[in-house]
Chains A and B, each alone.
Chain A
Amino acid sequence: MFDQTDEKTPPFDHGPLLEILARADATRLVALAERLLPDLGAVEVIQSRTGLVMLPMRDTVQGTDFHLGEVLVAEAHIRAAGTEGYGMVVGRDLERAMAMAVVDAAASLGQTPEIRSFLQHEAATLAAADTARLCRVEATRVDMETF
């Protein structure tokens, strides 16, 4: 499925890896987690729940940080194969969060070609979606001419 792995690229840093997993396609993420799960052995679930994360913003007038409101997230935290995995995604999908935690745990033991090609593919898909949106946004730029 993911056969275009570029073996020469360095492994993903933890931050970008987590961000890609958090926005990755749910079906493909769960499928990858299911393939990785057997190698992790017995999995201890430390946390699997929904909850709220408060989102602050900085006001531009006085620079005051204030709370915009709360965002519902799904969280998963697991321990397996001597490592830990963690997932948090915007929304209510506990399965997505758990799949993210499984991939995070597996990746902490080593970014196998399968994991890396998944990350590369998802990163490219997400970037393409953002670019497509921004090309449509760019079409609304006003080219103003003064008489």
Chain B
Amino acid sequence: MAYVATRGGERAIEQSERLYRAELGQIDAGRVQELRKALPMLIDRVMGEASLYEPDLAALALAQSGGDLYEAVLLLRAWRTTQPRLGIAAPVMQDQLFTHRRISAAFKDIPGGQILGPSLDYAHRLLATDVLQGRPYSPAPVEPAPTPAPALQPSLAAWQKAQGLVADPARAEVAPDDIPDLTREPLLFPAKRAHTLQSLARADTGGMLALGYSAMRGYGNAHPTVNELRLAEAELRVRHPRGTEFSAGRVKVSQAEVTSKGRSGLLELGFCATLGWNEVKVISGATLDLNAPGASKGSPVEEEFFLYHTEPVEASGFCIHFKLPHYVTFQSSLDALRGAKATADKTPAPIQPEQVPA
């Protein structure tokens, strides 16, 4: 069997792309800036899944793809390969995050307190239909507290480890250059923990929610409670040629720990973090991480299952490739079907069992 070379589609392909792009119209810097300003949550989601932090480029990718998230992520992942890697920053620690929101659903009195930050958790979800009648919606301003919140908050897990509530495994020091990197090496199973967490950080939000939700509903081993959820900004700590370490600026990050009581008598934790602010993603990812140990083969909370199936570029690419011509392989199936039917038609009808006289 071989692929069949055909011609005749060039004009159709060209016009098809034009038809698609005509719907989007002219894209200019103003549209990109408006998208960036109006859709920060979507920008964050796209940056996290693309594994590339640059809000203007994410807004441009959204403008060019007309909001098709998988196309936007693919555009950014492809563009990323044109850029050299200048280095690896110093690892971000929880207690160095400039924290905007930090809550725990498991512990009421956490060190540092419960700080809701920007959230719609307790809001009425009402559509502001007045806007469509020409009456703009203006949010009420925040009434600032007289004193600022501490910029830095302790890690809840570190406090729990000190309290003996959570296992505190010995850690091996790894130089930043030696941290396993999925963009340079394949994902193999059983996965290194660094690969698992990097893969979750880049994974498709919707895919993680679907699989994480299945675990939350009971198709997993452990029911999650949010131990700590944090929205913050991390410093990008790099080195000057003279060796001075400094922050080149801040990027938004989110992280979640979820917990359940383990068989060992200690609390067990699952962890997930990503670039940008995306709470559903990190809670789902942490739930998958919590449920993965000991999961049976083929279950949604098994590491190989959820990591392979939540990679946005591979998953969407595989799905949409089925639209491309499969005439030869399908013809072969059709031949086999027709052959089987012809054989069946030639076979004499089965002999009816003899009627037994009453």
Q: Give me the interface of A with B, judged by CB distance under 8 Å.
A: 14-15, 18-19, 22-23, 49-73, 75, 77, 84, 86, 88-92, 104, 130-142, 144, 146
Contacts and interface: CB of A to CB of B under 8 A. Distances in A.
Interface of B: 47-48, 50-54, 56-57, 80, 83-94, 98-101, 108-109, 113-119, 142-151, 155-158, 169, 171, 174, 176, 179-183, 193-198, 201-202, 234, 236, 238, 240-242, 244-251, 253, 255, 257, 269-271, 273-275, 289
A83 to B, nearest CB: 10
By CB atoms of chain A within 10 A, which of B84, B101, B289 has the most? B84
A73 B84 contact: no
Given A58-B91, A135-B148, A142-B116, A66 B201 contact: yes
Contacts of B116: 140-142
Given A60-B257, A92-B54, A71 B151 contact: no
Which 5 pairs of residues, A with B, have the shortest CB-CB distance? Answer: A90-B249, A63-B171, A134-B148, A138-B145, A18-B246
13 contacts: A51-B85, A55-B53, A56-B88, A56-B92, A58-B92, A66-B194, A66-B201, A71-B275, A72-B52, A75-B86, A90-B248, A134-B150, A140-B115
A110 B202 CA distance: 45
By CB atoms of chain B within 10 A, which of A63, A67, A138 has the most? A67
Contacts of B99: 137
Contacts of A77: 241
A21 to B, nearest CB: 9
Contacts of B180: 66
Given A49-B84, A62-B193, A139-B144, A69 B240 contact: no
B57 A138 contact: no
A138 B148 contact: yes
Nearest to B157: A60
Given A18-B240, A60-B158, A65-B176, A53 B83 contact: no
Contacts of B50: 69
Contacts of B90: 56
B144 A136 contact: yes
A130 B81 CA distance: 34
Contact of A53 (B88, B108, B114, B255): B88
B93 A58 contact: yes
A70 B145 contact: no
B339 to A, nearest CB: 52
Given A137-B117, A141-B149, A72 B269 contact: no
Contacts of A52: 52, 80, 83-86
A86 B151 CA distance: 28
A55 to B, nearest CB: 5
Contact of A22 (B109, B118, B171, B248): B248
A135 B144 contact: yes
A62 B146 CA distance: 38
A133 to B, nearest CB: 8
Contact of B149 (A23, A53, A134, A146): A134
A59 B257 CA distance: 10
Given A68-B201, A90-B250, A140 B117 contact: yes
